[in-house]
Structure 1
């Protein structure tokens, strides 16, 4: 599975980006939220991806942040929402705003997004509200005063768990790494490096 692409952004439009990776050009469908974050080509970029497998094609969707991709995948879990509609939703509203509307049950605001009627808005709220609540609960232990975004903290925690660390050890390591760098916003790579050092030392 292709989970991310790093290469040279050679083309970008409000719905599509082309990334050249060692001479191979990958076409990615993107929401407006990602388009707004992309630099002007040609520039080196990293995009997180979601691969849609169809009978007649393989379609890559690209995202600037893990939060965008996570919400895209959550939207796909809603009955009646496919990749194109999910992309359209994230083009009409940011991932953070979408989460807020779902948590507060604001169906009226969701219907302002083109392609979303009242029934679809209600279904999104009903099917995703509990899932978002569980996600919030899983990251409460990482609520340390830091400039590092919560999505980076959550991704780092998941990486440590995937490496075989117990949750209590992984959470303690991430918190420790965040406390060491309270005035600095870290990316996943740097935070993971620091957390691995702490987890390995048993601190």
Structure 2
């Protein structure tokens, strides 16, 4: 049996900042979310509970798969499990594909009810507590992306005016995995 009551000291590593813990218990507002950006500049978020892992992988490790929609970049061996990796921007209907002509692509691995997929994004922004007070349900501007986009926060993004919240279950169960964009 493992005794978790004893912890070993962690040596200092130059250039690494300690991880910030949650705000003081009386100041915690909202839920913890992973924020990331598409190549269009749009900022999105997923509840941290729906994110399995964030990985940086070489595009060469994503194996192209024939006869799949163009939003699917290919298959990737994630810890012994083969998962699909999709360009999240194209999946949501944005025209510009994610550039895979770089050494590493950021992939957000999302799991829900036994389904696991990788969502390729341009940049991972960070993890933040987002308060429900500023949240607005999805409106007509996101109608083509419903029910995948639940709504948005205004004034919460770094250098952007809004952060859109994605619904992992709707994302994983979408017909876009078979049909491509707009389904």
Normalised TM-score (structure 1): 0.31
Normalised TM-score (structure 2): 0.34
Structure with more helix by fraction: 1
Q: Relative contact order, CA 8 A, sep 6+: which one is greater?
A: 2
